Amino acid sequence: MSDEKKSRDASTGAALKSKNSVLMAKLFSAIVLMFGFGYALVPLYDVLCEVTGINGRLVNDNREASTAVDESRMVRLQFTTSVAPGMPWQFKPKVNYVDVHPGENTVVYFKATNQSNLAVTGQAVPSVSPGIASLYLNKTECFCFEQQILNSGESVDMGLVFFISPEIPQDIRTLTLSYTLFNVTQPISKPSGDLQAAL
Amino acid sequence: MSTLSAIDEHNDHHDHKPKGMMRWILTTNHKDIGTMYLIFSFLMFLIGGAMAMIIRAELYQPGLQIVEPNFFNQMTTVHGLIMVFGAVMPAFTGLANWLIPMMIGAPDMALPRMNNWSFWILPMAFAILLSSLFMEGGGPNFGWTFYAPLSTTYAPDSTALFVFSIHIMGISSILGAINVVVTIINMRAPGMSYMKMPLFVWTWLITAFLLIAVMPVLAATVTMVLTDKYFGTSFFAAAGGGDPVLFQHIFWFFGHPEVYIMILPSFGIISAIVPAFSRKKLFGYSSMVYATASIALLSFVVWAHHMFTTGMPVAAELFFMYCTMLISVPTGVKVFNWVATMWRGSLTFETPMLFAIAFIVLFTIGGFSGLMLAITPADFQYHDTYFVVAHFHYVLVTGAIFSIMAAAYYWLPKWTGNMYNESLGKLHFWASLISVNVLFFPMHFLGLAGMPRRVPDYALQFADFNQLVSIGGFAFGLSQLIFLVVVIKCARGGEKAPAKPWEGAEGLEWDMPSPAPYHSHTTPPVIK
Amino acid sequence: MLGLISSSVFATSSLNMTKGVTDISQRVYDLHMTILIICCVIGVVVFGAMFYAIIKHRKSQGAVAAQFHESTKVEVIWTIIPFIILIGMAIPATKTLIEMEDNSEADITIKVTGSQWKWHYQYFDHDFGFYSLLSTPREQYENQNGKNADVVKGENYLLEVDRHLVLPIGKKVRFLITADDVIHSWWVPAFAVKQDANPGFINEAWTIINKPGIYRGQCAELCGKDHGFMPIVVEALSQADYDVWLAGQKQDIAKAEVAAKQALASTLTMDDSMALGETVYMTRCAACHQANGAGIPGAFPAIKGSPIALGDIGAHIDIVVNGKAGTAMQAFSGQLTAKELAAVITYERNAWDNNTGDVVQVSEVNAKGAK
């Protein structure tokens, strides 16, 4: 075997193939990991939202009622509602706002009426502004914890029991709590697109 | 060196290429595959460009003259998808295939059969995407960034096809990236240490790592869109506990590194061409490597600068503003290094150098508008306006695309063995340079004056600039036909090219004959 | 120097960003000009050096290439100097941003809801609201195949709406922004306010308008086919004028309630319904379902020959009044009066050879949840 061929083999032979396979395997694992990371971003996002209050997603559910009240200041909590398309309910807060002391347990009601002629199940989804305030809004009891079913023509006063943490920063004096009401009578798992039609 | 080339030539008398169609379908040769990628990308560039012509024709005057708004949205969407995934990325991959083995002294890419698959699934992917335009309900119409829920609940039936075609494009890119990494790490000729590699090889190595890191995240994103739309998941729907803003975070985690994927190879190309025509070594080689690596690392922590108006808290906005501003530092360093390379060189201005100089000026202008966009309070006025459209077209067209053209002119003699027609090349350059600026510069003003993007019609105060922009667009489109002529003529014949047609060129590829032998570096070269 | 340039023609022409009518918009403009000027100066220096080299260091002029190709000192210098410039820029930007994000102590709250393809404004403190739709007539923008070539486009083409958002000057207005369907974005350049409207979530923004006037903006997030056709018009009035307007609104609401009661008591005839229904259909339904009722296959269903329009009246009313979850069909109950709803449903059931002969009465519509 000539010297040339020997040196050619060294760079193109079995040794190289094995090096390549090892590196390829590492790179493929990186790819699988990153695909998983893409999905992991979903719960990561939730965790980050909980910890930082970003995006106003409410996380303080089912807290025990508060026992300490900070009498020295008042905070205004405004209420606003939206009804999603396809949801035949009227849905309004009974009061537009309440002024409370941080730590004060308060109950407010939202009136919902099913105006259609079928039983309808609703799910309310809350959102708070400013986003950071969601860290301090504690819901002891909320109609948004479960789906609510109303029969045709039925009305109900749905309650929210909450308190605002006394730790809320001094510079937050007004919060807005918004509920969007969705029609979930069809299970959420009903797809909105027809895959067969597409293919 | 030359003795080894002679030996190579001798060995290659036996180079039997199969003939006809089957050669191209079955080839595992990096030069053939590189050629196919380049031809494919040029074809896609023309198709995506045709869509841009439709867009500009509609926007020539106020009023809806030519297309329905829903079709207009399909044009803007598919134009973007084709240019990003069908023109720019495959062009860079084609250059990688042709040049990397030659530049590092390797006989071919590490994984030649996978290389073949990486290419051939691309025409499939685009056939699927383009066919969706003809479906009932139309093709994708939600922007290339496909935000949910516009791309889920409110999207046409063809969305599944869009998702599958993106999956296939992603697989192609990922496999290509793996091939590049393995080739560069394992197949450099003895003596070709990392810090001796041409900068084009460095930039592609770093780009390949970016691709491996983020293309799978795009795959995850697009799969979530598929399941939200067809299988009842609620990643992005508030009703089911999801969040539309989550989509944007996951998408842009891919999306921002993606735009650096689309420019880092450009930096490598310019770093080869400027020294050649300055007859002077690249200034600050190690700085250039470190700057490229810093840009790649920083690209992972700036994604939310696309999301300043989504309702982020101040702390997050400040973090992303600072990191985004920071990226301009290593980028600026690269520009200074190119200018320092030219300084006190001995300059000539053949077509590759003309495109490279235009790149330096115009890409930098795109960088400046990018820096302006980074300033969050100002971004509230720029976001989703034509100011953004101006920014990314400067960095992508006068940036990436010009660098690809520079590369084509520079290496065509090596690929074909013929010199291209220099007068036609210069004509192409000047026609493109003038028309591209008429096309994109006024968009800055349109954005500042308040014109939103992705609209098929506009208020009367935007009419004059839109007409000017459209004229620039038609002219730019026509100018690319000159390039088509240049390439075809060169492939078919012309003045014979020597091994090194450019006096100042450096690199292993210039030590071999033009055209480069079908199998080059069959024995590893000796590196000085 | 900034002042000189800002006060020049450059600032007031259509070339540059608006200075706007709020303190924040002025500061945003100043930030914009600062960064622009910094970039221009850097550009002049860098490109100047490059063009100097192009001219003086060309081979055709006899230039011989030097040999230098690295210098750590120089690399450090041109890393540090830009870094310092950036810090200089970041400081005023940070200050302005922190102020822009301080939504506290508002005087007025307006809830802004985006939907395909219009805005809804609710005056939070007074508990009333209204939709605001593009009012440019179709003939002005429908120009396919040379149609309407003789129709002149109005001065505020595509930037006019049927009902303005009316606000007082000098008061801090807080906007609560959300959406009903896809992501939209509420943008008024004169205030430098732009915030995305995310469905199911609420965002905040604020402004204090310094000058009375009319300020026009547009939706700034792709939201479907009529994304370019849902503008924003804010009318800023002095406090006194605003109070007068508010009082007028309350009177109008009272009048509308009376009219609604009368409509409920009256009986609609086929002719009246078809006339009113056609007007409503053409302005509110035709965008998707098309003027000929045929819809767009694969995107928007046809009403002509549709099982819903020809079948059970209750189901037809329900879908128009309450919309359909998981589709683009909105709830029209808040957007049209009960009488308009009854009329348009009658129209749909009888136009284009549907010919059911049904005449829908206001009471039937009310029963389904119309207000």
Is C196 within 8 Å of B311 when comparing Cβ atoms?
yes
Query: Could you tell me the CA-to-CA distances from A116 to A86, A89, A103 in Å, in that order?
Result: 11, 7, 40
Instruction: Tell me the residues of chain B between 74 and 133 that have a Cβ less than 8 Å away from chain C.
Output: none
Instruction: Tell me the residues of chain A between 9 and 38 that have a Cβ less than 8 Å away from chain B.
Output: 11-12, 16, 19-20, 23-24, 27-28, 30-32, 34-35, 37-38
Which residues of chain C make contact with B323, given a CB cutoff of 8 A? Answer: none
Q: What is the dihedral of CA C310, C312, C313, C314, to 10 degrees?
A: -150
Asked whether the predicted pLDDT for residue B10 surpasses 60, the reply is no
**C92 close to A (CB below 8 A):** no
**Domains in chain B, number:** 2
Is B344 within 8 Å of C65 when comparing Cβ atoms?
yes
Is A125 within 8 Å of B232 when comparing Cβ atoms?
no
* Of B320, B308, B303, B324, the residue nearest B377 (C-alpha): B308
Which of A85, A127, A178 shows the shortest C-beta gap to C181?
A85
Q: What number of helices (H) and strands (E) belong to chain B?
A: 18, 0
Which of A84, A88, A127 shows the shortest C-beta gap to C201?
A127
> Does B276 share its domain with B216?
no
**A42 close to B (CB below 8 A):** yes
Q: For the residues B111-118, what does the mean pLDDT come to?
A: 96
Please list the pLDDT of chain A residue by residue as tens digits (199 residues).
455 555 455 555 888 889 999 999 999 999 999 999 999 999 998 888 777 766 666 666 666 777 788 889 999 999 999 999 888 899 999 999 999 999 999 999 999 998 887 889 999 999 998 888 888 899 999 998 889 999 988 999 999 999 999 999 988 899 999 999 998 887 544 454 555 555 5
Which of C111, C181, C202 shows the shortest C-beta gap to A56?
C202
Give the residue extent of every domain in chain C: 18-58+70-100, 108-144+155-257, 266-367
Which residues of chain A make contact with B7, given a CB cutoff of 8 A? Answer: 4
Q: Rounded to a whole number, what is the distance in Å from the CA of C215 to chain B's nearest CA? A: 12
**A1 close to B (CB below 8 A):** no
Is B229 within 8 Å of A187 when comparing Cβ atoms?
no
Instruction: Tell me the residues of chain C between 111 and 170 that have a Cβ less than 8 Å away from chain A.
Output: 111, 113, 122, 124-125, 127
Q: For A69, left (φ over 0), alpha (ψ -120 to 50), or beta?
A: beta
The per-residue pLDDT for A5 is: 55
Residues B222-247 pLDDT 10s: 999 999 999 999 999 998 889 999 99
> Does B271 share its domain with B226?
no
**C83 close to A (CB below 8 A):** no
Asked if residue B324 is part of any domain, the answer here is yes
| Total number of residues shown for chain A | 199
Is C157 within 8 Å of B311 when comparing Cβ atoms?
no
DSSP state of B392: H
- Name the residues of B annotated as catalytic: 79, 108, 144, 172-173, 256, 258, 260, 271, 305-306, 331, 334, 453
> Does B211 share its domain with B343?
no
Which residue of chain C is at minimal alpha-carbon distance from B372? Answer: C35
* Of B345, B291, B504, the residue nearest C69 (C-alpha): B345
Asked whether the beta carbons of A16 and B187 are under 8 A apart, the reply is yes
Asked if residue B464 is part of any domain, the answer here is yes
Asked whether the predicted pLDDT for residue B36 surpasses 60, the reply is yes
> Does B359 share its domain with B498?
yes
Asked if residue B267 is part of any domain, the answer here is yes
Is B66 within 8 Å of C142 when comparing Cβ atoms?
no
Q: Rounded to a whole number, what is the distance in Å from the CA of B78 to chain C's nearest CA? A: 15
The per-residue pLDDT for C331 is: 85
Which of C97, C224, C296 shows the shortest C-beta gap to B150?
C224
> Does B361 share its domain with B510?
yes
Which residues of chain C make contact with A116, given a CB cutoff of 8 A? Answer: 318, 322, 368-369
Asked whether the predicted pLDDT for residue B8 surpasses 60, the reply is no
Q: Rounded to a whole number, what is the distance in Å from the CA of A152 to chain B's nearest CA? A: 22
Q: Rounded to a whole number, what is the distance in Å from the CA of C135 to chain A's nearest CA? A: 24
Is A183 within 8 Å of C178 when comparing Cβ atoms?
no
Q: What is the CATH number of domain C266-367?
A: 1.10.760.10
> Does B225 share its domain with B364?
no
Which residue of chain A is at minimal alpha-carbon distance from C107? Answer: A174
The per-residue pLDDT for C326 is: 75
Contacting partners of chain A (3+ CB pairs under 8 A): B, C
Mean pLDDT by 10 residues, chain C (371 residues): 45 77 97 96 97 96 92 95 96 95 90 96 92 94 92 95 97 96 97 96 96 97 97 98 96 90 88 92 89 86 92 90 83 88 94 91 80 50
Asked whether the predicted pLDDT for residue B55 surpasses 90, the reply is yes
Which residue of chain B is at minimal alpha-carbon distance from A16? Answer: B186
**C104 close to A (CB below 8 A):** yes
Is C176 within 8 Å of A178 when comparing Cβ atoms?
yes
Cα B503 to its chain centre, rounded Å, is 28
The per-residue pLDDT for A76 is: 93
Mutate to test the interface with B, among A1, A11, A87 (most CBs of B within 10 A): A11
Q: What is the CATH number of domain C18-58+70-100?
A: 1.10.287.90
> Does B207 share its domain with B80?
yes
Asked if residue B239 is part of any domain, the answer here is no
Q: Rounded to a whole number, what is the distance in Å from the CA of A21 to chain C's nearest CA? A: 38
Q: Rounded to a whole number, what is the distance in Å from the CA of C126 to chain B's nearest CA? A: 26
Q: Is the ipTM of this complex over 0.90?
A: yes
**B250 close to A (CB below 8 A):** yes
The per-residue pLDDT for A3 is: 54
The per-residue pLDDT for B271 is: 98
Q: pLDDT-derived band of residue B90, with 50, 70 and 90 as boundaries?
A: very high
Q: How far is residue B269's CA from residue B302's CA, in Å, rounded to a whole number?
A: 25
Using CA of residue B320, residue B323, residue B326, residue B327, what is the dihedral sign? negative
Asked whether the predicted pLDDT for residue B493 surpasses 70, the reply is yes
> Does B165 share its domain with B107?
yes
Which of B138, B311, B461 shows the shortest C-beta gap to C198?
B311
Q: What number of helices (H) and strands (E) belong to chain C?
A: 12, 10
Tokens linked to A149:
């079913």
Alpha helices in chain C (DSSP H): 2-6, 9-12, 23-56, 72-100, 138-141, 239-265, 270-284, 286-289, 307-310, 313-322, 338-350, 362-367
Q: For the residues B182-202, what does the mean pLDDT come to?
A: 96
Which residues of chain B make contact with A38, given a CB cutoff of 8 A? Answer: 216-221, 250, 253-254
Which of C15, C65, C144 shows the shortest C-beta gap to B345?
C65
**Residue-wise burial string across C291-304, b where 16 or more C-beta atoms lie within 10 A, e elsewhere:** eebebbeebbbbbb
**Structural domain range at position B478:** 263-516
* Of C306, C102, C281, the residue nearest C208 (C-alpha): C102
Instruction: Tell me the residues of chain A between 53 and 82 that have a Cβ less than 8 Å away from chain B.
Output: 53-57
Asked if residue B249 is part of any domain, the answer here is no
Residues B390-442 pLDDT 10s: 999 999 999 999 999 999 999 999 999 999 999 999 999 999 999 999 999 99
Asked whether the beta carbons of B187 and C259 are under 8 A apart, the reply is no
Which residues of chain A make contact with B161, given a CB cutoff of 8 A? Answer: 198-199
Asked whether the beta carbons of C273 and C359 are under 8 A apart, the reply is yes
Q: How far is residue C94's CA from residue A39's CA, in Å, rounded to a whole number?
A: 33
Asked if residue B470 is part of any domain, the answer here is yes
Asked if residue B45 is part of any domain, the answer here is yes
Which residue of chain A is at minimal alpha-carbon distance from B106? Answer: A11
Asked whether the beta carbons of C270 and C191 are under 8 A apart, the reply is no
Tokens linked to C19:
């200075």
Residues B234-292 pLDDT 10s: 999 998 889 999 999 999 999 999 999 999 999 999 999 999 999 999 999 999 999 99
Q: Rounded to a whole number, what is the distance in Å from the CA of C200 to chain B's nearest CA? A: 5
Q: Rounded to a whole number, what is the distance in Å from the CA of C292 to chain B's nearest CA? A: 16
**B244 close to A (CB below 8 A):** no
Q: C108-144+155-257 domain in CATH 2.40.50.140?
A: no
Residues B129-179 pLDDT 10s: 999 999 988 999 999 999 999 999 999 999 999 999 999 999 999 999 999
Which of C14, C57, C153 shows the shortest C-beta gap to B347?
C57
Percent of chain B scored above 90 by pLDDT? Answer: 94
Q: Rounded to a whole number, what is the distance in Å from the CA of C105 to chain A's nearest CA? A: 8
Which of C155, C297, C299 shows the shortest C-beta gap to B70?
C299
- Chains B, C: CB contacts within 8 A come to 297
> Does B294 share its domain with B381?
yes
Q: What is the Rg, in whole angstroms, of the alpha carbon atoms belonging to chain A?
A: 28
Is A8 within 8 Å of B230 when comparing Cβ atoms?
no
